[in-house]
């Protein structure tokens, strides 16, 4: 059920969520630095540490080779860490390293067990909670992930902890708690106003829309469209926001722009625009849209329902 509840608008900005986590340290166990020690990981910048070649496109065959090497390295790490643990050399770093390797091997349940053991050994290590949060998200446990981010925020300096407000916001939104999600998103923006871009604006706009705050939603969606007039689904969501404000002509205009952007997937949009036209008193145009609904396909994009009351 949790998977079905995940918001489409926030999924559309999933790369931003992953980037926020990468910035605050998750790169210590992701891809290139998967099995370096936590101390070594913390000594290098998680983004600047990557070489230029890391960003260059690779041939499929080359990627396959890289993935095979990473898997081999992960298996070796699991084996070596297990031997040390059996020998009695138990500390949080050993469990953390093995958990990182198990994560790479997509053995999430085993990785979670190791992270839990590491946290018991040293509950003040931020990286442990970040890894635990990642694993919880991979296993669709948003509530546990939110708790992990809360713990990490408390342990982090203010400027670093505020970066985690955005991924926690994502968890709250997935838990159908848009009020908490919005508070975190705004807190993230307050601490890092330079990070306000189209994707953050769309996230905040979506949350305002879910809370029925059309005016604020319009402001953030308008920011997106000012920079990118063809940004996916934003015209539709701004149209929904205008419906909340009973600005039906503006809503119809936005739905029309979204129809022009995706003419082959417009069934729901014609229906929305027809309602907007009818409420605006444009009955002829409303009737035309109602006819078009029967002539187009039924592949639709559900964004965020507007209220007609």
- Predicted confidence (pLDDT) per residue in 127-179, tens digit: 999 999 999 999 999 999 999 999 999 999 988 999 999 999 999 999 999 99
Q: What is the pLDDT of residue 13?
A: 42
Q: Is the pLDDT reported for residue 303 higher than 90?
A: no
What pLDDT is attached to residue 27?
Answer: 34
Lowest-pLDDT range of 46-60, 79-93, 253-267: 46-60
CATH number for 25-155: choose from 3.30.465.10, 1.20.120.530, 1.25.40.10, 3.40.50.1390.
Answer: 1.25.40.10
- Looking at every residue in the chain, the average pLDDT score rounds to 81
Q: What is the CATH number of domain 232-309?
A: 1.25.40
Domain boundaries, the chain: 1-8+165-230, 25-155, 232-309
Q: State yes or no: pLDDT of 85 exceeds 70.
A: yes
Residue 106 has pLDDT above 50, yes or no: yes
The Cα-based distances of 34 to 68, 69, 97 in angstroms read 14, 12, 8
Confidence of residue 294 (pLDDT cuts 50, 70, 90): confident
pTM for this entry: 0.74
Cα 218 to Cα 127, 237, 241, 248, 260: the distances in Å are 37, 9, 6, 13, 20
Give me the pLDDT at residue 33, please: 42
pLDDT in tens, 229-278: 999 999 999 999 999 999 999 999 999 999 998 887 778 899 999 999 99
Percentage of the chain with pLDDT > 70? Answer: 74
Q: Band the pLDDT of 61: cuts 50, 70, 90.
A: low
pLDDT score, position 67 = 85
E strand or H helix at 121: helix 108-121
Whether the per-residue pLDDT at 48 is higher than 80: the answer is: no
Q: Which CATH superfamily is domain 1-8+165-230 in?
A: Tetratricopeptide repeat domain (1.25.40.10)
Is the separation of the CB atoms in 206 and 304 below 8 Å? Answer: yes
Per-residue pLDDT at 126 = 96
Q: Which helix (H) or strand (E) holds 89?
A: none
Rg of the chain (C-alpha set): 23
């Amino acid at each position: 059920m949790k998977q079905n509840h995940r918001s489409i608008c926030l999924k559309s900005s999933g790369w931003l969520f992953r980037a926020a986590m990468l910035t605050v340290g998750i790169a210590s166990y992701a891809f290139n630095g998967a099995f370096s020690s936590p101390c070594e990981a913390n000594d290098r910048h998680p983004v600047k540490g990557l070489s230029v070649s890391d960003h260059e496109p690779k041939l499929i065959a080359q990627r396959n080779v890289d993935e095979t090497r990473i898997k081999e390295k992960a298996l070796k790490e699991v084996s070596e860490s297990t031997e040390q643990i059996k020998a009695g050399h138990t500390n949080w770093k050993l469990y953390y390293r093995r958990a990182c390797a198990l994560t790479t091997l997509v053995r999430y349940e085993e990785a979670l067990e190791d992270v839990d053991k590491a946290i018991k050994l040293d509950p003040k290590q931020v990286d442990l909670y970040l890894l635990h949060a990642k694993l919880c998200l991979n296993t669709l446990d948003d509530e546990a992930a939110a708790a992990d981010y809360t713990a990490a925020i408390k342990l982090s300096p203010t400027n670093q902890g505020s970066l985690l407000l955005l991924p926690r916001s994502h968890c709250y939104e997935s838990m159908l708690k848009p009020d908490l999600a919005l508070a975190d998103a705004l807190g993230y923006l307050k601490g890092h106003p330079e990070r306000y871009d189209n994707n953050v604006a769309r996230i905040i706009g979506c949350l305002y829309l879910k809370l029925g705050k059309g005016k604020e939603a319009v402001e953030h969606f308008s920011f997106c469209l000012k920079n990118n007039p063809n940004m996916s689904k934003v015209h539709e969501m701004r149209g929904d926001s205008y419906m909340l404000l009973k600005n039906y002509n503006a809503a119809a205009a936005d739905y029309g722009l979204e129809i022009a952007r995706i003419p082959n997937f417009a069934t729901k949009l014609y229906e929305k625009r027809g309602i907007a036209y009818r409420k605006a008193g444009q009955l002829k145009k409303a009737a035309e849209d109602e006819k078009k609904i029967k002539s187009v396909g039924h592949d639709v994009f559900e964004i965020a329902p507007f209220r007609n009351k």
